[in-house]
Each structure stands twice: as C-alpha cells, then as structure tokens.
Amino acid sequence: MENPVDLETFLQSESLPEDASQLDQLRSAGEQAVLLQTAVGHLEETLKEAKSRLHTMRTKTLPDLLAEVQMTSFELEDGTSFEKDDFVSGSLPKKDPLKRQAALDELIKEGGEDLIKNIISVDFNKSEHNIALSTLAELQEKGFSATIAESVHPQTLMSFVREKLKKGEQCDFEKLGCYVGQVVKITMGDKS
C-alpha cells in the first residue's frame, strides 16, 4: 500500500498556522491528526511486513541456503556477519489437559522431572491475606477450595530442550510444546 503522506516533509513543516483564527487552527490540527494517523497506519503495516519477511529470511531462507552450501556462517564485504544457530521456542500445552499431561510425562521420561514445579493456588479476598499464609491442609479444613497444578516455566523448558540439542539427544519436542529450528544471527558491519 502506497503511503500518500510525505512524512518527513510533513513533520518538518510548521504544525499550525499562527495567524489563523482559532477555528482555522482547530480544523488544521484535525486535518493534520488525520494525516498523521494515516501515516502511522501505513508505517505500522510496512513494519509488520518487513518484520515478517526478515523472520522468514532468518529462520528459513538463510538457514536453508547455508545448509545447501554446507556452511554455518559467512560475511559480507561490509563486515556484516551471518551465523547459523539452533533455537527453541514453546511452552507446555495449556488448553488440553491430556496434551499437558503427555508433555509432563515426556519431560519425566527425558530426565527433566526436577523442572516440574507444584503450584498451590487459592483465591482470597484482600482481607484474607493472613489466612493465605497457612498450609494447604489448613485451607482445606477451613473449607477453601485449593488446587494443585504442575508447571514448568517456558524459559526453563526451552533451556532443557537446548541442552538436549547440544548433547545430540532427541526427545519428542512437539509433545513438549516446543518448536525447534535454526535461525541466522546477523551482526551489522561497520560500513552498514
């Protein structure tokens, strides 16, 4: 989509005519606001598209091309360097309890049981703060509905999977809720 506003020229111009009446200044300010809002919309759309294309370039195009030529890094004449590295992204499944339990079982099978944390959760009113400090058994005796859940922080899970990758060990990454791939890190050169 073409941006109809020359934003740099527009931003450098005076914002409101000082010799105009207040109503003319108001109308001018409104027109400028519309132009700015349109320009921001165009810039956000352009930025979103550029980020998407850069992501594809870093996670698909460049890693694939580096693999084809059996390289892990390269450098441009201006000093910009490109280095392929593995990445992990994800977290335990949240919505499907069966998938979540399967992920926890997989984690235990792979030796990650110490990553699993038990969480006790009880809802209290602000005025019940002192009661919240008692133990789970005491809460149940008092009639509160307490729940226990198992959880692994996403960063901890991704670190666990990265360690598996470094050691050359395989596990069911999909079952764990993780996406494993490669990304190319770009370090800009001095002349860029």
Give residue-wise pLDDT tens across range 83-113: 999 888 889 998 999 999 999 999 999 999 9
Let me know whether 103 and 167 are in one domain.
yes
CB atoms within 10 A of CB 181: 12
Give the alpha-carbon dihedral of 166, 168, 172, 177, to 10 degrees. Answer: 10
pLDDT given for residue 147 in this prediction: 67
Q: Are residues 59 and 90 in the same domain?
A: no
Residues 179 and 103 in one domain: yes
The helix (run of H) or strand (run of E) holding residue 183 is: strand 178-187
Measured in residues, the chain has a length of 192
On whether both 22 and 54 belong to a single domain, the answer is yes
pLDDT, tens digit (0-9, with 9 covering 90-100), for 127-139: 776 766 666 677 7
Which pLDDT score is estimated for 1?
A: 45
Higher-confidence residue of 148 and 32: namely 32
Report yes or no on 124 lying in a domain.
no
Residue 13 placed within a domain: yes
pLDDT at 184: 86
**94 and 42 in one domain?**
no
Q: Could you tell me if 64 and 34 lie in one domain?
A: yes
Domain that residue 12 falls in:
7-71
Of the pLDDT bands very low, low, confident and very high (cuts 50, 70, 90), residue 55 is very high
Please tell me the pTM assigned to this model: 0.61
Q: 93 with 46, same domain?
A: no
How many Cα neighbours within 13 Å face the side chain of 133? Answer: 4
The arithmetic mean of pLDDT across residues 68-82, rounded, is: 95
Inside any domain, residue 134: no
What is the domain count for the chain? 2
- Decide: 170 and 164 in contact? Cβ < 8 Å: yes
The larger pLDDT score, comparing residue 80 to residue 148, is at 80
Q: Given a cut of 80, is residue 140 above it in pLDDT?
A: no
Examine the fold and report which residue of 71, 105, 127 is the final residue of a domain before the chain moves on: 71
How far, in whole angstroms, is CA 162 from its chain's centroid? 17
Indicate whether 94 and 157 sit together in one domain.
yes
> 141: pLDDT confidence band, cut at 50, 70 and 90?
confident
pLDDT for position 98: 94
